[in-house]
Structure 1
Amino acid sequence: MARNPERRTALIDAAIEVLAHEGARGLTFRAVDARAGVPVGTSSNYFASRDDLFMQAGARINSRMTPDPAVVEEALRPGPSRELVTSLMRWLVQRMADDRTGYLAMLELRLEATRRPALRVQLTQTVRAEFDAGADFYRAAGLPGDHDTFRALYLAMTGVLLEHFTLPGVLSGTALDDLVESVVTQIVPG
């Protein structure tokens, strides 16, 4: 296997682009090479199999979507409140919108995980770890509500993001920030 970490990252980012634009069935070594602008056969020198490429793409998306801890610390300065939760959820939605390609690729990976047991195991572990970390963060920050509040907020925001990215016309007529505020108001105690 080739050992150039910058090229590996570029190939994984190209794989994420392919997933977002062509779906899981379009994710081939040839498609990744074309998207990355490298000679045919390059990606097969970096990844043992398509399954490996799926796994690496999932890990990279997770890394791209994880916020900088210093920015998180700054965001928490106002102190725990429903307004802070609203602000954090707006920030979450904006981060996902800023990496639309990554979010769509993650949706493709989730669908592909229904057909690939090894990917399902890895993705479940990754998403569960992120969920648990989010729940721990919510509790440690002293944000309003309990674990059930966090879980409902997580599920609601996941649904908002799914609609926003896949069928935005379903939610048309409501600004995304207003929708986020409405969700938080309904779920998070005042």
Structure 2
Amino acid sequence: MARNPARRTALVDAAIEVLAQEGARGLTFRAVDARAGVPAGTASNYFANRDELFTQAGARIHVRMTPDPAQVDVAMRPAPSRELVTELMHWLMRRMTEERTGYLALLELRLEATRRPALQAELTRAVRAELEESIRFHLDAGLPGDADTVRVLYLAMTGLLLEHFTLPGVLSDVDLERLVETVVERILP
């Protein structure tokens, strides 16, 4: 296997782009090579098989979607309150919209994980760790609610993002910003 870390990252990022635009069936070494703009056969020098490519994409996607700690520090300057939670949920929507490709690729990976045990293990590990970190962050920051509050917010927001990115017409007559506010108001009365 080739050992150029920068090229490996570029190939995994290209795989994420392919997943978002062509789906799991479109994720081939040839498609990754083309998207990355590298010679044919390059991806096969970096990944033993498609399973490894899927698993590496699953690990990388969370790195791409994690906010910069400096941005988190700025977002957390206001005092802990329901209003701050609402702003954080708006921020989540903005960040995921900016990283739309990554979010769509993650949805593809989640579906593919039902058929690939190694990918399912990687995504379960990554998503569980992120959820646990979100719970810890929420509680440590003194935001209102408990661990179950964070879990319910997580479920509500992932459902909203799923509709927003896959079937936007379902909520086309709804003000998404107001809907986010309603989610928080109902979960944190």
TM range (shorter): over 0.9
Do 2:11 and 2:36's aligned partners in 1 also have CA atoms closer than 8 Å?
Answer: yes
Shift of 1:26: 0.9
The size of the alignment, in residue pairs, is 189
Percentage of pairs with the same residue: 74
Q: Which residue of the partner structure matches residue 51 of structure 1?
A: 51
- In 1, the alpha carbon distance for the partners of 2:137 and 2:188 equals 15
Runs of 5+ consecutive residues of structure 1 not aligned to the other structure: none
Query: Contact 2:82–2:144 (CA<8 Å) still a contact in 1?
Result: yes
Deviations 1:38-86 (A, max 9, x none): 1110001111111111111111110001111121111111111011001
In the other structure, the counterpart of 2:169 is: 169
Amino acid at match of 2:148: D
- Give, in angstroms, the shift of residue 157 of structure 1: 0.3
Cα-to-partner distance string for 1:69-128 (whole Å, 9 max, x where unaligned): 121111111111011001001111111100100000000000000011111111101100
Cα-Cα RMSD: 0.9
Structure 1-normalised TM-score?
0.97
Correspondence for 2:13: 13
Q: TM-score, normalised by structure 2?
A: 0.97
Residue correspondence of structure 1 range 128-143 to structure 2 within 5 A? 128-143=128-143
8 A contact 2:33–2:40 mirrored in 1:
yes
Where does residue 115 of structure 1 map in the other structure? 115
- Secondary structure of 1:61's counterpart equals helix
Aligned match of 1:76: 76
Aligned AA for 2:86? T
Match of 2:67?
Answer: 67
Q: Deviations over 1:147-169 (max 9, x none)?
A: 11111111000000000000011
Partner of 2:179: 179
The farther-off stretch of 157-166 and 63-72 is: 63-72
